[in-house]
Structure 1
Amino acid sequence: MTTPKPKSEIPADLRELLGSLRRRIRLYVLLEGLALLVVWLAVTFWVGLAVDYLPVTFGASEMPREARIVCLVAIYGVSAYIFYRWVLIRLVARMSDTSMAILIERRYPAFHESLLTAVESPVEEDLTEIAFREGMIRQAVTQAVENSRQVKLNEIFNPWPLTRNVTLAVALLISIGAFAVISFDSFQIWGRRLYWLSDEAWPRLAQIEVVGVEVTRPSGASDGTTAADVVEVIPFKNGVATVARGSSPKLLVRAKADAEVVPAYCTIVYETADGARGSVAMQRVGTARSDYQRYIFQRKPLKSILGSISFDLIGYDHRLRNLRIEAVDSPAILTMQVDAAPPQYTNLLPRVSELTSSSDLPVGSQYKLLAKTNKPIVRVEIANLREQTQSEMTLAEPNNQFELEFPPLTDDLSLELTLIDSDGIYSEAPFRVQIAAVADQAPNVNLQLAGIGTAITPQARIPLLGTVGDDYETKDAWLDVQPGDGDITPFAIKPTPQGDVNYVLDLKETTGAPQLVAGDQISLTLKASDLHDLTGGPNIGVSTRYPLDVVTPSKLLSLLEARELGLRRRFEQILQETQQLREEFVRVQLDAKRIATGPSSFSSSDLEGDDAADPVAKLQQAIELQLLRVQRTPQASRKAEDELRGVAAGFEEIRQEIINNRVDTEKRKERLENDVIGPINQIADVRQPELREAIKRLEASLDDPTHSVEAVGDAIAETDEIILAMQQVLDKMLDLETFNELVDQIREIIQLQEELQKDTETEQKRLFRDLFNLESSD
């Protein structure tokens, strides 16, 4: 085997040409890749700036940090790709002499592949098999060397991609440089925001800020005003302002007047708790004052707000984000109880009761108010309406319960309580507390005379009936007796456990009773004290004062006889009315007989009207008149019954006065009771009800003329019995009156005898004095 010959050497000129082309290719690749990388970085600079800043000019916010992180990752990722794809791979790629020769010959065809032949001269492996023509190779090399002198490497490259990239890169760099020169602060801000991920915000042309929300609430003790309501501005804390549910807050915003742009209006972009979204414009208020331009808004969705509202506020290019108006329930008292311990003298146990509009407590009670609220509160403002004072109570920590303690109750309590919760929300309306202070009243004392009149004898027995009652309990009761203008003498009385008083003051037998004579006057007053031990001591209740005149027995009897005469006349009037009732029954009886006969018994003169000639109409009219007459009779019977009881009671009073004044005989008292009072009560209690029963039967029988005649006969019979009984009583009254007249005559004779005796004694004394004087003169 033959040994192959080594590859022939490339001439230095050709090697230099190929090396120069290789270096220029690498420089071209480097410049093109770097320019493309600069273009990418510059474009992302401007695009990111536009995306980050342009929304700001419309009131939106800058890109959030998360978006900028994504952008920065994309920038660095694409930059790495560009550097790898357009720079690194192309720079490290192997560029052989053959490739370089092909590039040159493609641009310069005059080489006729001589350059490629010179670069790729073959190695002879078997000189015996393949003829090697060394002359031809030399000729090709010589031709390549000669042609290489005409090669211009710049013409091999396409300048447009490089020029384009470099031009774009330079232009973009110039624009960035100009931006940095013109607005270096903005340049720095964007650089920090994009590459350092700073949260520094872009400066705004307009500057707005939220002042707060204006609400109207009830005035409290800390407001120092007498007005019922006050206007309060609630600031936003951490972007949240809390208002009462149902209120209509007014949003207050202001813009700096010295900013580059003062917004013509501000926009609220909101979302309610129920998902409703929208935007509304705020009203501009007047012109800028105190370096600020003000804006207000109080329409929907802030009208009668029921739920929370989240919103952004936009003023030209300034946007305040994540603001919220939180609507919460106003604090309110759910229950209020009164824990009271009444004064000891009342003997009432301590109690806890619900506060109502009619709550009351005894004066002197120890008490406190126990309240439960719908939410935790931190302060209670107390307005005392009666004393016109203001105070407040601050709780140690927010709580749903609180207590208000007071000194002992001395007067009516009238308070208004205003609650404030931890959000500064006031109760919608003050809670009214009304507790009436019930002063201990004097005992209620009633007194009346029983069986005694306003005139008494010196030996009278005075029965007293009455009642004694107190709010809680009485202590003592007594009867004050005062003769004329003399000293008052108290007589202790012990009422029953129910408070009833039944006491007899016997002027003859009661120890300590005043000694009276005819012509004197005595007054009686019942009094009682209670257990009240506060200021002022026990309360004393006083009954009506009863003045009584002291008269002789004869004078008293004459007064009673005058009253008897009045009762007799009243009785006679009742008797007359009963007789008229009988006449009414007689007319009813006559008409009943005619009705039983039929229409033929009525003449035209009996009736009036258009139907006077009609017998049937006459009969019907008579029946109606009959019914009307019968229906009026029970009322007359009841009237007579009531008046008879009144007459009987009057005679009983006379009888009791005779007994209690110790006058007249037992005979007279028995005649009053047996001949007058008893029979009158018998008529009222028995006869009159029996008459009404007969009237009922009569009324029920009117539909049957035959039976009605019998029924009206029964009623007449009952009436006759009543008239007869009353006439007998009247006769007894007249007998009694005659008896009384005889007694009066005897009383007058006795009185004349007594007067004659007194005159005789007086005359005897005068004659005796005259005789004594005559003897002395002798």
Structure 2
Amino acid sequence: MADPVRSDTFDKLRQVLVGLRRRIRRYVLIEGISLTVCVLGTLFWVSLLLEWGYFRLSNFEPPIALRAILIIGGIALTVGTAGVWVISRLLRNMQLRSLAMVLERRFPQLDDRLILAVETSESPDEATTRMNRILTDRAIGEVVDLLPTLRIGDVFDALPLRRAALAALVLIASIAVFGATNADAMSTWWRAFVGFEDAYRMRATRLTTSAVLPPDERVVRLNPESPLKHPRGGDLSLLIEVSDTPRPDGAEWVIPEQVTVYSRDGRGASSVVPAVQVGETQFRVVIEEVVDDLRLWVSGNDYTDRVPYVVQIVDAPRMDSAALAILYPAYMQRNRQDEDGGPIPDATPLTGPAVEIPVESYFDFEITFNKPMLNARVRFGGDELTIGDFRDSTGDAERSFRAAYVVEGIEGEPPTRTLLEENWARGLWDETRTRLTLPLLVTDAARGVISEPPEGRPGPVGQPLFAVPPDVLMRLWVEDFDEIATVEPVRIELRAIPDLPPEINTRPTGIGGLITRTAVIPVAGQVRDDFGIRDAQFEYQLQAKSAPDDAPQAGWIPRTLRRPPSGLPTVFELGRSDDEEYEWLDTAPLDLELGDVLSVVVIAEDANDLIGPQVTRGEVFQFRVVTAEELLGVLFNAELNQRKTFEQVIEEIEDVRTDLSGAIENATKVSTLRESGDRDELRTAVLAVRRSADRAYAELSQNRQSTATIADEFRQIFQQLVNNRIHTEAQLERIDSRILEPLDMLVDNSFPAATDSVAEIRRADRETRPVEPYLRRSIDQVEDMLRTMREVLDEMQSLADMQEALQELSSIYKDLSDVKAKTKEEQKRDILNNLGGGLFE
């Protein structure tokens, strides 16, 4: 049976130990909660600092994933702290024996008696001897008496608990004060780590970025979700502006001191480009020669783009090729014909910045581009064609097809705008929008959009076309489907080849300013025209000597050519036949009188039936009609002058012979001194030979030209004798065979041979060969020339004697005619006197 006293004692011991257990758990709970609060507070401040630092460094909110990781890690740390410092310690099994041991360690005076009491209470041993039981009860009684005297609280170390609680209180207080004094920051933290918002910070600056697109400086707002198409190699111009939207807190947006653009291309290369402030709230930056795709971030003050802008590089619009299909005016006869007789356009590729087209020609100008095009603008001087899809004047993103032709006003008049029929205008583009065909007519007869070609002009009938003025600069701008427009226009100079009047270049040949009444007037030369000569002929005008000064001038009388132009040649050579390279006007049928003045001209006309035909008059040649005797006298004087000149040539050639003959002695000396002799004497002899050869070479060259001139002059005399019909066959044969032929032989053979021989003297001297043989050969050739020249001079003298005799005979004949005329006058006067004496006395 249980001992009531002993049971009561055990109850008292259990109460003490259970109280200790309760106090231990309260301690653990308070400490664990404090530490958990410390972890939570620390996590708050750490997350707050990390978020602030990340934003300051990058101007970005930390990524949601990073914040989530931080929160999850914080929760895990908090739960772990609570689990370790609270839950696990509270759930720990604290038996009475363990509690007794705690008290035994803290209070040594218990002397293991408390342990004995706890063990006895847990496992009483009925078989224990009475003595042991007595001793045990005594020990338990002593413990029971001693326990009230113990300070159970001394078992606990209060310092860690105080520290933990103080730290927790400080953290809670700091967070409370921070939240009360900086509600915005607390709200930021809440939105960042509780709300997990993507963009939650209130920035002082907000920037918007736009691209400035050439050529009209159009501003396009960039969108991170829509790449900006940019031409390869072009400069990218960005306009960065402080936002004009209201700031949420009602304050003004802060203008940053510096704006920076960060870029990264497709190869991973990065660059930093500072912007330049161009206005109070505007900044400008230019990235030059962009050739790779880019990603761009704009940063200024506390703002940085979260999502980069994407720049996609594409090929710039350009003209790949161009070709012209030309139809020429019919009168030019340049169009090839098909089987049905219709004209075939002349296909001409454009190979340079200019193209030449005959005026009044029609052509389809086919332009091929490297990619499909939205629209095109073509300017012809001051006129402009717009065709394609355009935005309206407000810049609306919706495009509509428009086609119009504007003709520049003249002398202050307003321009004229013509809308083109849409279906027809769309047809100027091909289905792929990579080819544009412009129907053009180069003309002065119309301008702008015309319904059909003017009369006589080539081109499609019943279809509109564009009439452009001649010699106009064509400028072409295009915009492709990437909305990239050409900055600089394609320039093509349309050079109109005008149909100028024929150009006449003629001259009388074999005739002088004096002619006989039966002369023929040969005219040589050519007529040129751009596109063909339809007709050419002589015209002559006669001014009679007997006409009074105030008499009206006679008109021009046409005279056809023996061989007029045929087939619209662009170059027409005057010629009676293939052997006669001249046309002539025969004056015999004109009944010329002595003293009359005959004017002769060649006229030509082209085949231009649009503005012509155009007629050109060549140079007017005037001739005075004289007697044969007077003309022979003039020719005799000309021959006399040439004979004197020829005598001078002979004298100079004789001097050449003398100079060369004198050089033989020095040439012989040179040969001797080269073998052995005085070097100075050798040098003197060599120089003497060289000077003789140089003088001979110069004289021979000059006199050859003089002889050729004399031959030409005698040939003119010969031709004038023939053309004026005052020659005899014997006279012509003598001039031709005894003067002209020898002179031609001298010019073509003798002079060149002698000159070459003299040149050989100089070469032999330079090569230290004997020069004497060449000297003697040159002298022999000069002797032969002189012999021929003297024969020609003798013939000239004989001809002069004959001409002089003819002049004397002519003078005698004239004197006899005058005497005869005077005798008749005297006889008439005597008869009248005799008759008058009888009748009028």
TM over 0.5: yes
Give the aligned partner of residue 655 of structure 2. Answer: 580
**Distance in 2 between residues matched to 1:26 and 1:138, nearest whole Å:** 31
Which letter maps to 1:408?
A: L
Structure 1 residue aligned with 2:612, among 520, 527, 537? 537
Shift of 1:489: 0.9
**Distance in 2 between residues matched to 1:40 and 1:27, nearest whole Å:** 20
Structure 2 residue aligned with 1:238, among 210, 213, 224? 224
Give the aligned partner of residue 594 of structure 2. Answer: 518
Shift of 1:352: 0.4
Aligned CA distance change for structure 1 residues 141 and 526 (closer, same or farther; 3 Å): same
Shift of 1:68: 1.0
**Distance in 1 between residues matched to 2:778 and 2:274, nearest whole Å:** 98
Of 665-674 and 334-343, the range deviating more from structure 2: 334-343
In the alignment, structure 2 segments of 5+ residues that lack a partner are: 336-345, 391-398, 400-431, 443-468, 544-553, 577-582
Of 551-560 and 189-198, the range deviating more from structure 2: 551-560
Give the aligned partner of residue 746 of structure 1. Answer: 809
Contact 1:59/1:314, CA 8 A, preserved across alignment? no
Q: String of CA shifts for 1:468-487, please: whole Å, max 9, x gaps.
A: 33334333333333334323
Which letter maps to 1:186?
A: A
Q: String of CA shifts for 1:69-88, please: whole Å, max 9, x gaps.
A: 11111122223323433444
Aligned CA distance change for structure 1 residues 390 and 321 (closer, same or farther; 3 Å): farther
Aligned CA distance change for structure 1 residues 137 and 700 (closer, same or farther; 3 Å): closer
Of 554-563 and 303-312, the range deviating more from structure 2: 303-312
Aligned CA distance change for structure 1 residues 420 and 26 (closer, same or farther; 3 Å): same
TM-score, length-scaled by structure 1:
0.75
Contact 1:458/1:515, CA 8 A, preserved across alignment? yes
Question: Aligned with 1:350: secondary structure?
Answer: strand
**Distance in 1 between residues matched to 2:603 and 2:93, nearest whole Å:** 137
Which letter maps to 2:575?
A: N
Given the alignment of the two structures, is residue 622 of structure 1 paired with residue 622 of structure 2, yes or no?
no
Question: Aligned with 1:441: secondary structure?
Answer: coil
Given the alignment of the two structures, is residue 122 of structure 1 paired with residue 124 of structure 2, yes or no?
yes
Contact 1:532/1:538, CA 8 A, preserved across alignment? yes
Shift of 1:629: 0.8
Number of residue-to-residue matches in the alignment: 727
Given the alignment of the two structures, is residue 48 of structure 1 paired with residue 35 of structure 2, yes or no?
no
In the alignment, structure 1 segments of 5+ residues that lack a partner are: 224-231, 600-613
Contact 1:342/1:362, CA 8 A, preserved across alignment? no
Shift of 1:402: 7.0
Which letter maps to 1:120?
A: E
Aligned CA distance change for structure 1 residues 71 and 559 (closer, same or farther; 3 Å): same
Question: Aligned with 1:122: secondary structure?
Answer: coil
Give the aligned partner of residue 73 of structure 1. Answer: 72
Of 720-729 and 41-50, the range deviating more from structure 2: 720-729
**Distance in 1 between residues matched to 2:93 and 2:769, nearest whole Å:** 155
Given the alignment of the two structures, is residue 443 of structure 1 paired with residue 502 of structure 2, yes or no?
yes
Shift of 1:296: 8.2
**Distance in 2 between residues matched to 1:280 and 1:115, nearest whole Å:** 86
Give the aligned partner of residue 494 of structure 1. Answer: 564
Contact 1:530/1:538, CA 8 A, preserved across alignment? yes
Structure 2 residue aligned with 1:475, among 534, 538, 543? 534
Q: CA RMSD in A?
A: 5.3
Structure 1 residue aligned with 2:603, among 518, 527, 542? 527
Contact 1:42/1:176, CA 8 A, preserved across alignment? yes
Give the aligned partner of residue 352 of structure 1. Answer: 349
Structure 1 residue aligned with 2:699, among 623, 636, 639? 636
**Distance in 1 between residues matched to 2:657 and 2:274, nearest whole Å:** 98
**Distance in 2 between residues matched to 1:87 and 1:669, nearest whole Å:** 150
Structure 2 residue aligned with 1:343, among 294, 307, 328? 328
**Distance in 1 between residues matched to 2:157 and 2:774, nearest whole Å:** 151
**Distance in 2 between residues matched to 1:149 and 1:706, nearest whole Å:** 157
Structure 2 residue aligned with 1:737, among 773, 791, 800? 800
Shift of 1:526: 2.4
Aligned CA distance change for structure 1 residues 57 and 564 (closer, same or farther; 3 Å): closer
Give the aligned partner of residue 565 of structure 1. Answer: 640
Contact 2:317/2:480, CA 8 A, preserved across alignment? no
Contact 2:207/2:303, CA 8 A, preserved across alignment? no
Structure 2 residue aligned with 1:363, among 343, 359, 380? 359
Which letter maps to 2:564?
A: K
Shift of 1:728: 2.9
Give the aligned partner of residue 649 of structure 1. Answer: 712
Contact 1:118/1:140, CA 8 A, preserved across alignment? no
Question: Aligned with 2:50: secondary structure?
Answer: helix
Question: Aligned with 1:522: secondary structure?
Answer: strand
Q: How does 1:146-225 map to 2 (within 5 A)?
A: 158-204=157-203, 206-207=204-205, 209=207, 220=215, 222=216
**Distance in 1 between residues matched to 2:648 and 2:349, nearest whole Å:** 64
TM-score, length-scaled by structure 2:
0.70
Given the alignment of the two structures, is residue 408 of structure 1 paired with residue 394 of structure 2, yes or no?
no
Question: Aligned with 1:502: secondary structure?
Answer: coil
Contact 2:232/2:292, CA 8 A, preserved across alignment? no
Question: Aligned with 2:574: secondary structure?
Answer: strand
Shift of 1:740: 2.3
Aligned CA distance change for structure 1 residues 618 and 100 (closer, same or farther; 3 Å): closer
Give the aligned partner of residue 505 of structure 1. Answer: 584
Shift of 1:342: 6.0
Q: String of CA shifts for 1:117-174, please: whole Å, max 9, x gaps.
A: 56414375xx7x9889988888888888777777887666555554444443333223
Q: String of CA shifts for 1:49-71, please: whole Å, max 9, x gaps.
A: 11112444566544322221111
Q: String of CA shifts for 1:232-254, please: whole Å, max 9, x gaps.
A: 98876539997996969798676
Contact 1:463/1:502, CA 8 A, preserved across alignment? no
Give the aligned partner of residue 602 of structure 1. Answer: none
Contact 1:578/1:719, CA 8 A, preserved across alignment? yes
Give the aligned partner of residue 629 of structure 2. Answer: 554
**Distance in 1 between residues matched to 2:313 and 2:654, nearest whole Å:** 86
Given the alignment of the two structures, is residue 719 of structure 1 paired with residue 706 of structure 2, yes or no?
no
Give the aligned partner of residue 464 of structure 1. Answer: 523
Which letter maps to 2:124?
A: P
Of 345-354 and 134-143, the range deviating more from structure 2: 134-143
Of 185-194 and 720-729, the range deviating more from structure 2: 720-729
Aligned CA distance change for structure 1 residues 329 and 427 (closer, same or farther; 3 Å): farther
**Distance in 2 between residues matched to 1:138 and 1:592, nearest whole Å:** 172
Contact 1:306/1:327, CA 8 A, preserved across alignment? no
**Distance in 1 between residues matched to 2:486 and 2:767, nearest whole Å:** 79
**Distance in 2 between residues matched to 1:43 and 1:31, nearest whole Å:** 18
Question: Aligned with 2:744: secondary structure?
Answer: helix
Q: String of CA shifts for 1:483-511, please: whole Å, max 9, x gaps.
A: 343233142543487632213335268xx
Of 418-427 and 69-78, the range deviating more from structure 2: 418-427
Give the aligned partner of residue 338 of structure 2. Answer: none
**Distance in 1 between residues matched to 2:770 and 2:159, nearest whole Å:** 146
Aligned CA distance change for structure 1 residues 281 and 703 (closer, same or farther; 3 Å): closer
Question: Aligned with 1:408: secondary structure?
Answer: strand
Contact 1:455/1:551, CA 8 A, preserved across alignment? yes
Of 88-97 and 437-446, the range deviating more from structure 2: 88-97
Question: Aligned with 2:42: secondary structure?
Answer: helix
Contact 1:68/1:194, CA 8 A, preserved across alignment? yes
Q: String of CA shifts for 1:325-382, please: whole Å, max 9, x gaps.
A: 97979958686655362634372733003214x6544334536474767x99877777
Contact 1:331/1:428, CA 8 A, preserved across alignment? no
Aligned CA distance change for structure 1 residues 333 and 311 (closer, same or farther; 3 Å): closer
**Distance in 2 between residues matched to 1:430 and 1:457, nearest whole Å:** 69
Shift of 1:694: 5.3
Which letter maps to 1:209?
A: L
